[in-house]
Amino acid sequence: MPTKLNKWGSSLGLRLPQYVVDRLTLRAGDHMYINVTNAGEIVIRAVSPRDSPEPYSPSESLPASRLPEPPMEW
């Protein structure tokens, strides 16, 4: 199905037809992986939940041995 690129802020946006959304069970906020092949084709696939980026948390980036100890309660 041909579709048209539209301006979205300083980027270009592409709308997915409803049948594509239904077939892939996509929802707003899902993460997608985009790849451009050497032949100039754009390949877009849904990223599984375990592969999607998680919100950054500084405490998660440090090993447990380097986390500050909680204050002692007396």
Spatial CA neighbour of 16 closest among 33, 5, 51: 5
Strands 6-8 and 11-13: antiparallel
Residues 37 and 43 sit within 8 Å (Cβ to Cβ): yes
Question: Considering the chain, what percentage of its residues have pLDDT values greater than 70?
Answer: 65
Instruction: Report domain 1-48's class.
Output: mainly beta
What one-letter code names the amino acid at 24?
L
**Domain ranges (residues) in the chain:** 1-48
Residue 65: the pLDDT is 53
Q: What are phi and psi of 27, to 5 degrees?
A: -135, 160
Given a cut of 90, whether residue 70 has pLDDT beyond it is: no
In sequence order, the 6+-apart residues with CB closer than 8 A to the CB of 7 are: 13
Q: What is the rounded average pLDDT of the residues 22-51? A: 87
Residue 41: the pLDDT is 94
